Amino acid sequence: MNCCGLLTPEKEPVPLKSIEVELEVRDHVATLVSTLLYENKEDKPIEAVFVFPLPGDAAVCHFSAVIGQTQIVAEVKDKQQAREEYDDALSSGQQAFLLEESDQSPDIFSLSVGSLPPGESASIRLEYVTELAVQADDGLRFCLPAVLNPRYQPQGASVQVTSVPASLVPYSLSFSARVSCPRPISKVESSSSLDPLQYLNAEKTQATVKLAAGHKFDRDVELLIYYTDAHQPTAVVESGQASAKTGTLMGDPVVMVSLYPEFPQSVMSSVASCGEFIFLLDRSGSMDCPINNSNQQETRIASARDTLLLLLKSLPMGCYFNIYSFGTIYEHMFPKSVEYSEKTMEEALKKVEKMTADLGGTEILRPLKDIYSQPCIPNQPRQLFAFTDGEVENTKEVINLVKKNSGSHRCFSFGIGEGASTALINGLAKEGGGHAQFITGGDRMQPKVMQSLRFALQPAVQDVSVTWDLPKGVSVTVLSPPITALFQGQRSLVYAQVSGQVRSSEAAEGCVTVKYSLAGHRSQNQLHFTLKAAEDTGLTVHRLGARTLIRSLEMEEREYSGQQDVGVKEKVVELSVQSGVSSSFTAFIAVNKSDGKEIQGPLVRRNVPAYSEYFSKGYLKTYLLQTSTLKDPLLQLVSLQKASGCWLLDAALAAALGKTSEEVEKPKPASVGQMWATILALIWLHGFKTDAKEEWELLALKAVSWLQAQNVPFVTECVEAGNALLGCSVQKDSLGL
C-alpha cells in the first residue's frame, strides 16, 4: 500500500499543497469555486498533469492562475487551437495552463500545469456551475469528486477509479458552503463530518456550513440539502451581460423554470399494480470492478444482484417480468415474460444469485432487439430497466432502436461506476420516456433503482407540450430539449432566452403552461412569474442554459457525425466561446506572457499515476476473491419475504431479527398466527432502517396490503409486543396499519 497517492514516476510527491473550495447554493443551483495551490520543490522545471472528475452536468465557466504577483485568466478557444498554443508556449519557455474536457467522457477533465520553475508556486482557480439532483427523499445532492481519485484510460481498458488511503493524502482541503433559498432550509447532511449549520437570518432562508477541520480528501464530499416545501415550482429571470450584444444568448435575459408536476389524486390512487417489467443487466468483465472507492469489496455485479433482489421482492402481484443479461452474448431467464408469483420469483432469485461478470464485452443492441421482438402483453405496460457500466460504439443505433419502440414501453437507465457513458444512459431514458440515474462515488445503487421503480409504477404521461404566454413584444427561444417524460413530484427544468422589450413600466408577468395526457385525461400545470430580473444572480442561469444547449448540440453532432458538414461543431464552439462555458470541442488556455523571461532547463513531465499498484488488475481479483462480507442485514430480511408480501415465522426470520426462534415465538399474541412474523419484519424495518426507507418502502406497502387482507386481530397489542421484543418504539400509524 506504500506505492500510491499523488506521486511522480520516481515516487516523489507531486506538488499539490492545498485545495480550498467555496460552494454557493441558490435554491437548486450551485456555483463552486475551487483554488488549488501547487509548488515545485524540485531543482528543475516541471509539467504536472492531473486527471480529475467533475459532476457530469457541470458547466466550467472560469479558469485562472496566479504565479507570483501575476494573474492570468484563461480564455475559451477551439480545443485544437488551445493545445497548439499550449505546446508553443512550453517550447518557447513560457508558463502555460490548459484545462480540457476528456474526449472519452464529458465529466472528466485534465489540467496541465506547464513549466513551473524550481521553487515557484502557482495558485489555480477553477469555477463551475451545476444543477443539484433531486434525491428519492427530496434532498438536493451536491457531490465534490475527490481530485485524489483520478480516472485513467489505460489502452484497451475502461475508465477506472481506485481509492487512496487517507494517511497518504499529501494536501489539505478546506470546504465551506453558503445556502440560500426563498423557502426555509430544514437541514444539511453529509457523509463527511460537518461543523453545525449556521443560520444567517430568522427566516432560516440563508445558512452556512463547513467541513469539520482535519478532513482528508480521500473520498468524495457529498452534501444533502433539504428545504421546507421543496416541491414548489419557481422561475428565475436573469439579466443579460452588459458587455454582450443584445440578441445573443449572453446579451438577452434568460429564464430558468423549475416545474414539479402534481398529478390528480384520482389518477395517482390507481397507481399501477400491473406492468411487464424487463430487467436488462450488463455482465461484461468490467462489472467485476468495485462499485466505488470507499468500499473496494463490493463489486458492481454484486450490487446489481442485491438490487435485483429488492426489485423482485417489490413487484406487485399480477404483473409480468423477465431478466436479460448481456456481454458479448446475451441470455434471458425465461423464453418470454412470466406472471409474477412465489414460484417464478424464487426461480428467478436462484438464478440471480449465480450471476457473475463473465459474458465478455458490452453488446446491448442484440438483447434489445430480442426484447422488442416479443409481443406486448395486453393491459401490462412494458417497463425496461437497463443497467450498464460501459460505453458502446453504436450508441446512436441503440438509442434509435429505443426511440423507434418508445410507443410501446418506457426505458429506465442506470449508469454504474465512473466510466458509464452519459450519452448512452441519458439517451436511453430520453428517447424511452423514462428516467436516467448515475451510480458513482459513494452512491448505493438500491435507493436510486427503487426511486425509478416508483416512477415506473406511475401512469405514463403522453403528449407533453410547453406553452408560453408573454406580454406583447416579448418572445422566448427555448434552450432545453423538449420534455418527453414527466413524473409526479420530479423536477423538470426548462431554460429559455427572452427577447424583446416589456412596453409597460409596471412589472410584467409571464406564464408557462405544461399540458399532458395522463391515463386518458388531459391535465395541465401552470406557473405565473414576473419578468423582472432577479438581483445578484451573476450569470449562473445563462451558463447553465448555454451548457444545456451545448449538450443538446453535441448529441446532435454525435448522431449525425460523418453525415453532414461541420455546422453543428462550429455552433458549439461559437456558443462555448461566447458564454465562457466548456464543451467537448473547446478548452481553457492561459499563457503567462508578462515578464518575457524564458524558463531554463529541460522540462520534466509529471503524469499523476491514477491507481495503486496494490489494486492493479491481478491483485484486485485475488483481493476480492479472498474477502467475504456478511450479508447486509436489510437484504437478509428482504430475501425472506414472500411474493405476496408476507414473512413466515421460522428460524431464518428469527436470525435476521437477531433473535432465537424461542425469543420470537414467546411474546406472540394468541390468534395472530403467521401475521406475527410480518408485523415483526415491518417493525424492524421502521425501527432500524429508516435511513434506507426508499429501498424497502414498496415491499413494506405490499406487506401492509397483505396484513389488511388478513384482517389482523389485536393490531395494537401485536405492535406493542413487537416493539418490546425488538427494543423499538414504532407507532402503529407509521406502519400503515
Class of domain 251-267+460-536: mainly beta
Which of 320-324, 492-496, 534-538 has the highest average model confidence (pLDDT)?
320-324
pLDDT of residue 651: 93
pLDDT > 50? residue 158: no
Which of 220-229, 497-506, 584-593 has the highest average model confidence (pLDDT)?
584-593
pLDDT in tens, 367-405: 999 999 999 998 888 999 999 987 677 777 888 899 889
pLDDT > 50? residue 628: no
pLDDT of residue 434: 87
**Mean pLDDT, to the nearest integer, of 358-370?**
90
% of the chain residues with pLDDT over 70: 81
Q: Which of 537, 575, 531 is CA-nearest to residue 553?
A: 575
Q: Which of 298, 34, 27, 45 is CA-nearest to residue 146?
A: 34
Strand order in the sheet with 16-26: 70-73, 59-67, 121-131, 29-39, 16-26, 172-180, 206-210, 198-199
Q: In terms of pLDDT, which residue wins out, 375 or 415?
A: 375
SS3 395: helix
pLDDT > 80? residue 433: yes
Using alpha carbons only, give the angle 105, 106, 111 rounded to the nearest 5 degrees: 95
Q: What grid cell was written down for 96?
A: 502555460
Averaged pLDDT score across all residues of the chain: 81
pLDDT of residue 75: 94
pLDDT > 90? residue 648: yes
Cα dihedral across residues 288, 292, 296, 299: positive or negative: negative
Using alpha carbons only, give the angle 692, 646, 661 rounded to the nearest 5 degrees: 90
Q: Are 614 and 5 in contact (CB under 8 A)?
A: no
SS3 706: helix
CA–CA distance, 236 with 173 (Å, rounded to integer) = 33
β-pair type (382-388, 409-416): parallel
Sequence-ordered strand ranges (E) for 132-184: 133-134, 140-144, 172-180
Which residues, other chains included, contact 566 with Cβ-Cβ below 8 Å and sequence gap of 6+?
A: none
Residue identified by cell 421484543 is: 725
SS3 185: strand
pLDDT > 50? residue 630: no
Which residues, other chains included, contact 42 with Cβ-Cβ below 8 Å and sequence gap of 6+?
A: 12, 15, 118, 604
Q: Are 299 and 371 in contact (CB under 8 A)?
A: no
Which residues, other chains included, contact 402 with Cβ-Cβ below 8 Å and sequence gap of 6+?
A: 368, 411, 427, 428, 431, 432
pLDDT band per the 50, 70, 90 thresholds, residue 144: confident
pLDDT > 60? residue 161: no
pLDDT > 60? residue 278: yes
Asked which of 156-160, 464-468, 581-585 is least confident by mean pLDDT, the reply is 156-160
pLDDT in tens, 12-61: 545 677 888 999 999 889 999 999 887 877 787 777 676 666 776 788 99
C-alpha distances (whole Å) from 82 to each of 79, 96, 117 are 5, 11, 22
pLDDT in tens, 113-123: 777 778 888 88
CA–CA distance, 19 with 94 (Å, rounded to integer) = 25
Q: Which of 22, 457, 507 is CA-nearest to residue 275?
A: 457
Asked which of 161-175, 290-304, 336-350, 660-674 is least confident by mean pLDDT, the reply is 161-175
The DSSP letter of residue 599 is P
What is 266-317 written as a DSSP string? HHHTT--S--EEEEEEE-SGGGGSBSSSS-SS-BHHHHHHHHHHHHHHHSPT
CA–CA distance, 467 with 465 (Å, rounded to integer) = 7
Stated as kind and residue range, the H or E segment containing 478 is: strand 474-478
Q: Are 656 and 640 in contact (CB under 8 A)?
A: yes
The DSSP letter of residue 414 is E
pLDDT band per the 50, 70, 90 thresholds, residue 296: low
pLDDT of residue 654: 94
Angle of helix 567-579 relative to helix 540-559, nearest 10 degrees, comes to: 160
pLDDT band per the 50, 70, 90 thresholds, residue 677: very high
Class of domain 16-234+581-615: mainly beta
Which residues, other chains included, contact 32 with Cβ-Cβ below 8 Å and sequence gap of 6+?
A: 21, 22, 23, 24, 58, 127, 128, 129, 130, 144
pLDDT > 70? residue 82: yes
pLDDT of residue 8: 43
Using alpha carbons only, give the angle 225, 230, 233 rounded to the nearest 5 degrees: 130
pLDDT band per the 50, 70, 90 thresholds, residue 559: low
What is 426-468 written as a DSSP string? HHHHHHTTS-EEEE-TT--HHHHHHHHHHHHTSPPEEEEEEEE
CA–CA distance, 456 with 623 (Å, rounded to integer) = 38
The DSSP letter of residue 7 is B
Q: Radius of gyration of the chain from Cα atoms?
A: 27
Intervals of CATH 3.40.50.410 along the chain:
275-456
pLDDT of residue 625: 30
Q: Are 104 and 154 in contact (CB under 8 A)?
A: no
Q: What is the dotted CATH code of the domain comprising 275-456? A: 3.40.50.410
Intervals of CATH 2.60.40.1230 along the chain:
251-267+460-536
Reduced DSSP (H G I as helix, E B as strand, rest coil) percent helix, strand, coil of the chain, to 5: 30, 30, 40
CA–CA distance, 97 with 89 (Å, rounded to integer) = 9
Which of 72-81, 132-141, 157-166 has the highest average model confidence (pLDDT)?
72-81
